[in-house]
Every structure is written in C-alpha cells, then in structure tokens.
Structure 1
Amino acid sequence: MQVRLDGHSLTIPELETIASGTTGITVDPAALTLVDERHSGLRGAQARGAVYGANTGVGANRHEQAGDPDGHALRLLRSHCAGVGPEEDDRTARAVMAVRLNQLLAGGSGVSRRVAEALATALHDGAVPTLHRWGAIGTSDLSALAELTLTLAGDRPWRSGAAPAVELDATDALPMISSSALTVATSALAVSDVHRHLRASTIIAALSFLALRGNPEAYDPAVHAARAHPHQIAVTNTLHTLVSGASPALRLQDPFGLRVVPQVTAPALHAAETLTAAVTAEINAAVENPLVTADGVHHHGQFHTAALAAGLDAVRGAFLPVMSLSAARLSLLMRPDMTGLRAFLADGPPGSSGLMITEYVVQDLLAEMRVTVQPTVSGTVSISLGLEEHASFATQGARTLRTMTRLAPTLLGAELVAAVRALRLSPERLTTGTLREAYDLAAAQLSDDLTDRPLDTDLTRAAALLPTLAALL
C-alpha cells in the first residue's frame, strides 16, 4: 500500500500509516509542477525587490538586506537549529517529514522542486532524521525544521537510513522552516490516539456496567433525545446496545461512574472531532510566510496556529473527565456493596489485597494528567526585540495532549483488569455479543490467577489491548 501526497487530500489515518514506517508514499506529479512554478515566482520576486527571508534577515532583522547571498540559506538554517531537548521518536519524525512534504506540495512555499523531491526520496527510502523537541511556541517549528533541512542538505547525519544530500539556494531556507509540521504531526498522532481511547473506554465502561449490575435506564435513548448534545445520542445508543440482556439492575439509580458515561464521553468526542478537522486543515495547508501564489508574494501571519491551540486545549479539558470517570468506576469495582464480591475483588485468604494498589496507580496517573489541562492559549510572550508579541503555544498543547494519551492506556487498563476479574468471579453477569467478544479478548491476555501477586504484567497487557477493543466499535 502507498499513500499519494498531493498537498490537499492527506488524512490523519493515512498520516499514521506513513508514520508507522509500513506504508510508502508517492507524489502527485501535478503538485511537483506547481512547486516548480511557485519557485520561479519566488525567484522572480526576489530579483525585483525585498522578499522576507529570501534576501533579507528574519524576525527583527527583516529590514536588513542579507549579505553573502550564496551562504544565506545555510547561515539562516544553522542559526535557527538549536538542536536541544529530547529526541522525537521515529514515528513522530516520519510524521513530520510527511506533513512538511504534503504542505510543500500545496504549492505556497516557493521552495525549489529539488528540495521537495529530496524530502520525498528520504521519506520513501526510510531515512529518519534526528529532531529535537524544544524551540517552538506555536508560530512555526523553526528549530526542528532547520534540523530536518540541514539533514537533507548533508550538514547533519541521518539518525537511521540515508538519502542523497540536496543543494540549497537562498530561497529554500525560510520556505522549508516556515511551518509547524512538528506541532501538527504531534497533534495528529495524539488526536488519533484520543479517538481510539474513547472507543475503548466505552467498551470498558460497559464491561464494568455488567460487573456492577448497573441500571440500563440511564442509557435509554428517549432520555437523551430530550437534550441532544452532539454525540450524546450516539454514545447512548452504543451503550444501550452493548448492555442489552444484562443481569437485572440492583439499584434504582447508579453512581455517576455508570450513570453519566454518555454525558461525559460526548463532549470529548465532539472536541476530538473539532480538533481532527483543524489538524486535517493544517496538514493540507500552505502556511509559509511569505506565501507564493499565482498573483505574487504575500507577507502574512498564517503561521500562527491559534485554531489548533484552541482545539488542543478543548480536547485535553474534555478528555480528562472521561479518565476520571474511569477511575470512579474502578473504585466502585473495589466495593463489596457494589459488586456483591469481596473487597478489592480479592480471592485468597482473609486480608488479601486483591486489586487495591490499582487505585493508587490510577490516581497517580490522574494527578499527572491534571497538570496537562492548564490552557496553553493563556500564555504570553514578547520576543525578537518585541516584534513578535503573541504566540498560540499550540506546540505545548500538542505535547501535553500526547502526554495524556500515553498515560491513558494504563489508567483504562486498570479498569479493564478489574472488570474482567469481577466477571470471572461472577460469569453469569456476562452477556453475548460485542461485550462477550471484548471479555474473551481480555481474558485471553490477562492471568486467571486471582491470588495476590504483582500486577504489572496484567496492567501492561490490558493497556496494549485498547486498540483491539476500540476496533470493536
């Protein structure tokens, strides 16, 4: 399978497959022709007068004519390559390359065709650059993209693989780094994980419902039709179908951990859907400053990622309550008055601890997540001699969302371990259909030894099961 890059139709699922390293790419010849045309347009504008970054300095040096035109590109790139902070993993690095290439193919950068082709060749051949994380605030990933471009030019080594070095001219440097490709790639991979986690959390919540013998009235579609928030009816219908045929309810009204799953999950789905649209727009956008069009060269502020930052903040704020509700259900599963089983789902001599420690793990993870929910758009900045006095901080929003998505599997996995244990102890509470399939998948991976023992293997395996469970919906 190969993904065709044309500058306007790349999707997040396609980007994920490229990032995985298992899918190749092809480039639309018409897009490369457009790149060539716009490069000629930029060179013509450069010959006629000042063009930001092509024959001038950048930032507060924008009014200074660039000296040594032949060395301007490499000077600009080297000076912007901070090269500090943690290294991004191969998956993220490949996603950055794919995003940046697709943006170049949108035809607004003015970069030379040979540079776009060199990036395509490197991506196709499996070369992976070293990209360091720090050095961006949501107004272009200048440092990381300078690192990528210098690697393409042979100035820095590839971390793995290799690709022929490409020659840069003065009009190639700023067009290559005038992008938030790392921020966008990080956002794309993170929001895709959010979608998977939300689907998996719905399956796990339904398993907990069975174990706790919940009341299905809370999932009656008629209830939710009376206040039809986006996605709430869909979540309700899913849960109503999943728990159909469950054991008779024990309570007139369940605790919130069961009763408000649709109300809490729906805003997270809505926020993730909105962010997905924003990220998809970014990976197919020509945002370089200056922008080269058929009408000429335009200086602008399209590099500012305010919409992306707002979407990232919204997802983090809506995702955390889904995780805290999972923690609430885990606590319910520890309670004998809720399950009819022993405290902490223990199954050994009196005083056995069972799954007691899982609550501590989950609350630790939740505490880590709460730190990430602080809105990044509230930040302030004044840099480059005061010329740049605002930033979106989408970069920080993307990183913190990624942190949340990496913590979430263990948190949800703890609930899964508990729900499966409870259903093992009371198998008559199981239903047929999707939840039975989910239970069987989990039970096959999780130990049936219910005595007190280390739980690390079960928690790790449960976390790894989330994509499989998500695929059931």
Structure 2
Amino acid sequence: MENSRIVIDGTGLTCAQVARAAREDVIVAIDPSGLERARSAWRVAREVADAQPVYGRTTGVGANRVVDVEWEDADAHGLRLLRSHAAGAGPLIAPEIVRAMLAVRLNQLAAGGSGVEPGALQALADVLNLGLLPPVPVYGAIGTGDLTALASTALCLLGERAWLAGPDGAPERGPGFTLRSSDALAFISSNAATLGESALAVTDLRELLAASTVVAALSHFAVRASEEPYAPAVHDACPHPGQREAAAAMRALLAFERAAPARIQDPYGYRAFPQVHGPALEAAGYAEAVVTREVNAAAENPLVDVAGHTVWHNGNFHTAYVGLALDTARAALFQTMALSAARLGTLAEPSFTGLYPFQGATEASSGIMILEYVAHSALADVRRLATPAALGSAVLSRGVEEHAGFSTQSARATTDAVAAYRIGLGCELVAAARALRMQGRAPAGGPLKAAHDQAAAVLDPRVEDRPLDDDIAVAADLLPRLARVQGYGS
C-alpha cells in the first residue's frame, strides 16, 4: 500500500518520486512537519510585512519594486499580479510535466520559506489526487521563475480559470482555495515547472544510460568483441569514477562469456565504451543531485527566515546550477549515443557478424539497413539539442533583471534529447538481438542472458525484408526493463 502513496515533507522528495507522482496512480499526502514549517513561515511573513517593506507583499514587482502598495489597495494588488502574469503562449505542456510541477511546488511550500498560507499545501495535494491540471503553455519562463505557469495555477485555485481533467483535457471546475492577495507573488515565485520537467528528464536519462550498458554488452557479444578494454587494471590506471562504473558493469554483464575475441583490437564503440559512457553516467548523476537539491530547497525570494524572524531578499530563484548541469548532461549524452550508432554500424557489417550485409535474409536483402538512418536521424537531433542553453541571456523589466540562465529551455531540450536517445538505443537493440538470433547464439547466463531472453521474447523473429518501425517501438519500450536487469532502480 505504501508504494501507492507519496508523503511530501519539504525535505526528502526525490526525482524518482516526482516521476511517480507525475506518471502513476498514487496518493499524495502531506507530512505534518511540512505543514508546520509552512504555518510558521506564514506567521513570520505577515508580522515582518507589517513592520517593514517586503518585496511583492508591500511593493510592486520587477522594476515596480520601488512602488509601495497602499493598504487600501492590498486586497486587489495580488489578484492583479496573478492576472497580469498568467500570460503564457503556445501549446500546452505535457500533463506529466504539469503534475510534476504541482508536486515540486507542494514540496517547496512544505520546506517553509515562502510564507504562503499553509492551506495552499492541501489544495495542491487535492488537485494532484483528483487528477486536475492547470492549463500551462510552453512559452513563458527563462529560468528565473515559472511565473506564467504558477499564475495560471493560482487562477485555477481561485476559480477564475477552469482546470483540465480527464484524458481529453476537458475544462472542469475543481476545489477552490482563497489565495490571499499578499501571498500571490510568494506562490508564483518558483521554478517548479522547470524543476519538475528536469526531474522527469534526469530520471529517464539515468534509466536509459543503465539500459545502454546492457544493449552495448549484447552488441559486444554479437560481434565477439574483446573484454580487455574493461579490465580493472585499465581503469585503475585512469580512475575516473564513471569510467570505472561503466567498465565494472560490462565485466558483470559479460562474466559468463568465455569465447575468444575475434580481433586483437575493436572499434571505439567497444574499446572506448567506458571512457565515453562514463562521463554521461557522471553528468547524469550530478544533474540528478542538483535537481534534487533544488526540489527540496526553500529557494524563495523573499525568503522567510523563521528562526531569525525576518525576510531576506535574494537570488535563489536563479537556477543556473540546474541549467548548466543539464547542458553538460546533454553534451555527454551525445557522445555516448554516437558510440551506440557506431556499434550499430558494426552490426550491419559481415566482417563483424558473420552474416550477410545488413543482416539480410539474402545477400541482396536490405535487412536492417534503414536502422542506421533512423539512429543517425535521432542522433542529429541530440546533437542539435546539445547546444548549451546557458549561452543565452536576457535583460528584462527595465533593466533591473539583467540575467537569465534559460534552465527552462535546457530542461525542455533534455526531455527531447532523452526521447531521441531512446529511439537510437532501440535501433541498436533490434540489431543486436537480430544478429544473435541469426547466428543461433545466446549468452550463457547471468543478467546478459536475462536481457537477451527478454528481447527475444518480444521482438519479431522474422528476418525477411519488412517494415521495422514496430520493432524499434517494441525495443524502445523494453529499455526500462533492461535497465532493471543491470540493477538500476533496485
């Protein structure tokens, strides 16, 4: 029963839990400690705002920070702020990203730095549990706050906008919540949508990187490659952690295979696998650590300091760490995906497989020829998406907000790059499994045999020329199971 429940406390939310809240049928509950932190911050925020200027509570926002809000206008000021900022554009983002945003913002509020009235926590939990979504367009954020997305959410809570519900996204009136005018900026001043998408992307990326090692091992077995490149002495001599991890995983997967290698030295797709895949493992691990830290941070501006009974105006809204970490992960992903495409090339070569060219049913058959085109098409997109979002910047709000890291765009690019990587890796898996079937060979035991058997059970065994699009889709869907074969997520 606990597996169907996620408890939000403001301190311990993982990227994997964000993914579960976004994609699975789970109940989201709030830990009392999170509610108490939010309640304490709410009290302090009101008391401090009664005694001194507080950005967004007693003043305007952006360049209007120098304008005081008169007390007789205080009730209307927050509502105007929400209405003016709920101006995103373009198509709506995917429902799972919206749910991830709601889970992240709920956890951030439970961290106790926003000063938002604590009833907002239960309101967000209710929305998640009822399957309601605010309409959130793609365009509107640049990594310094998902203001448009959260303003739209706030208007839904207030009943001014309809929630979207059901598989067709039909408008629906849901449970309302009276968000106080003074809490308007505090509610929307967050990167929850960017962080939610980032959490989904790094969760998927780490899973696919684990699966990639299994697929690479199947290709290695299919072409009778040498295990020398994975020897401990090699990686003790150049001890990068990710490189060592990749080599150890390959040794474990190939532990039951004792056939002599076909060549004294293999192409880079096999020989340099640890050195290229290792950086991707490290980059993805670092990105996950950065996103997890942000998801559990009270990264609010102003930050309500309960212990010091004050507020601090600050720059924690800037997600430079997240954007740069994701930019790095995509660059590393391109490198290891290029090796996957290179291994796919060897699987089409008779000198590596002992089969007809392209694993054809006859010498004149096209076989898996088209898989290389598909894989390189996906690789080209990953190369395009690997351009660092952090190379851009912006000067906004009459010059007082003069920098942006574009982590929102980095998160979106990572989502798209991971999707393309899944396709490319699926192509390699189809080719490796087909080569082994045509060779009449299978791994002798251990996790590699388990992976081979799973692939053989779901992939079409026919080798005559035919459309391979279904094969690619089936292989791509199998990748999460192959990651578990290697122990990912256990």
SS at match of 1:231: helix
> Is 1:205 matched up with 2:208?
no
- Matching residue of 1:13: 16
Q: Can you list the C-alpha shifts for 1:262-297, whole angstroms capped at 9, x where unaligned?
A: 111111111111111111111111111111112211
Q: 2:385 aligns with which of 353, 372, 377?
A: 372
* Range 185-194 or range 427-436, more displaced: 427-436
> Is 1:253 matched up with 2:265?
yes
Q: Is the 8 A contact 2:385 2:417 kept in 1?
A: yes
Q: Can you list the C-alpha shifts for 1:341-363, whole angstroms capped at 9, x where unaligned?
A: 11000013x42100101111111
How far apart, CA to CA, are the structure 1 residues paired with 2:443 and 2:43? 67
Q: Is the 8 A contact 2:162 2:174 kept in 1?
A: no
Q: Is the 8 A contact 1:210 1:246 kept in 2?
A: no
> Is 1:66 matched up with 2:91?
no
Q: Is the 8 A contact 1:346 1:355 kept in 2?
A: yes
> Is 1:43 matched up with 2:46?
yes
- Matching residue of 2:106: 101
- Matching residue of 2:188: 177
- Matching residue of 2:231: 220
Q: Can you list the C-alpha shifts for 1:311-348, whole angstroms capped at 9, x where unaligned?
A: 11111111111111000000011111121111000013
- The one-letter code matched in structure 1 to 2:276 is V
- Matching residue of 1:3: 6
- Matching residue of 2:158: 153
SS at match of 1:465: helix
Q: 1:83 aligns with which of 64, 84, 88?
A: 88
Aligned-pair CA distance for 1:19: 1.1
SS at match of 1:85: strand
- The one-letter code matched in structure 2 to 1:103 is Q
Q: TM-score, normalised by structure 2?
A: 0.94
Aligned-pair CA distance for 1:246: 4.3
- The one-letter code matched in structure 2 to 1:433 is G
How far apart, CA to CA, are the structure 1 residues paired with 2:300 and 2:376? 43
- Matching residue of 2:473: 460
SS at match of 1:471: helix
How far apart, CA to CA, are the structure 2 residues paired with 1:223 and 1:469? 27
- The one-letter code matched in structure 1 to 2:180 is D
* Range 64-73 or range 274-283, more displaced: 64-73
- The one-letter code matched in structure 2 to 1:100 is R
Aligned-pair CA distance for 1:167: 1.0
> Is 1:264 matched up with 2:276?
yes
- Matching residue of 2:252: 241
Q: Is the 8 A contact 2:323 2:389 kept in 1?
A: yes
Q: TM-score, normalised by structure 1?
A: 0.97
Q: 1:436 aligns with which of 449, 458, 471?
A: 449
- Matching residue of 1:230: 241
How far apart, CA to CA, are the structure 2 residues paired with 1:388 and 1:283? 23
> CA RMSD of the aligned region, Å?
1.3
- Matching residue of 1:29: 32
Q: 1:345 aligns with which of 355, 359, 368?
A: 359
- The one-letter code matched in structure 2 to 1:136 is A
- Matching residue of 1:448: 461
User: Which blocks of at least 5 consecutive residues in structure 1 are unaligned?
Assistant: none
> Is 1:361 matched up with 2:364?
no
Q: 1:186 aligns with which of 197, 200, 209?
A: 197
- Matching residue of 1:415: 428
How far apart, CA to CA, are the structure 2 residues paired with 1:144 and 1:94? 12
Q: Can you list the C-alpha shifts for 1:62-100, whole angstroms capped at 9, x where unaligned?
A: 111235211111110110111312212221111110100
Aligned-pair CA distance for 1:45: 2.0
How far apart, CA to CA, are the structure 2 residues paired with 1:167 and 1:380? 36
Aligned-pair CA distance for 1:430: 3.1
- Matching residue of 1:131: 136
How far apart, CA to CA, are the structure 1 residues paired with 2:121 and 2:28? 13
- Matching residue of 2:177: 166
Aligned-pair CA distance for 1:129: 2.0
How far apart, CA to CA, are the structure 2 residues paired with 1:208 and 1:282? 38
- The one-letter code matched in structure 2 to 1:276 is E
- Matching residue of 1:274: 286
How far apart, CA to CA, are the structure 1 residues paired with 2:423 and 2:380? 14
Q: Can you list the C-alpha shifts for 1:390-427, whole angstroms capped at 9, x where unaligned?
A: 11111111110111111111100100000011000112
SS at match of 1:415: helix
Is the alpha carbon distance of 1:325 and 1:362 closer, same or farther for their aligned partners in structure 2, counting shifts above 3 Å?
A: same
- Matching residue of 1:54: 57
Q: Can you list the C-alpha shifts for 1:119-138, whole angstroms capped at 9, x where unaligned?
A: 12222332222221211111
> Is 1:387 matched up with 2:400?
yes
Aligned-pair CA distance for 1:41: 1.4
> Is 1:119 matched up with 2:133?
no
Give the fraction of aligned pairs with identical amino acids, expressed as a percent: 45
- The one-letter code matched in structure 2 to 1:28 is D
Q: Is the 8 A contact 1:139 1:392 kept in 2?
A: yes
- The one-letter code matched in structure 1 to 2:90 is G
Q: 1:283 aligns with which of 277, 286, 295?
A: 295
> Is 1:470 matched up with 2:488?
no
SS at match of 2:7: strand
> Is 1:324 matched up with 2:343?
no
Q: Can you list the C-alpha shifts for 1:214-248, whole angstroms capped at 9, x where unaligned?
A: 01111111111111101222221221121232432
User: Which blocks of at least 5 consecutive residues in structure 2 are unaligned?
Assistant: 167-172
Q: Can you list the C-alpha shifts for 1:124-165, whole angstroms capped at 9, x where unaligned?
A: 332222221211111011111111111111111111165311
How far apart, CA to CA, are the structure 1 residues paired with 2:320 and 2:264? 46
How far apart, CA to CA, are the structure 1 residues paired with 2:126 and 2:476? 36
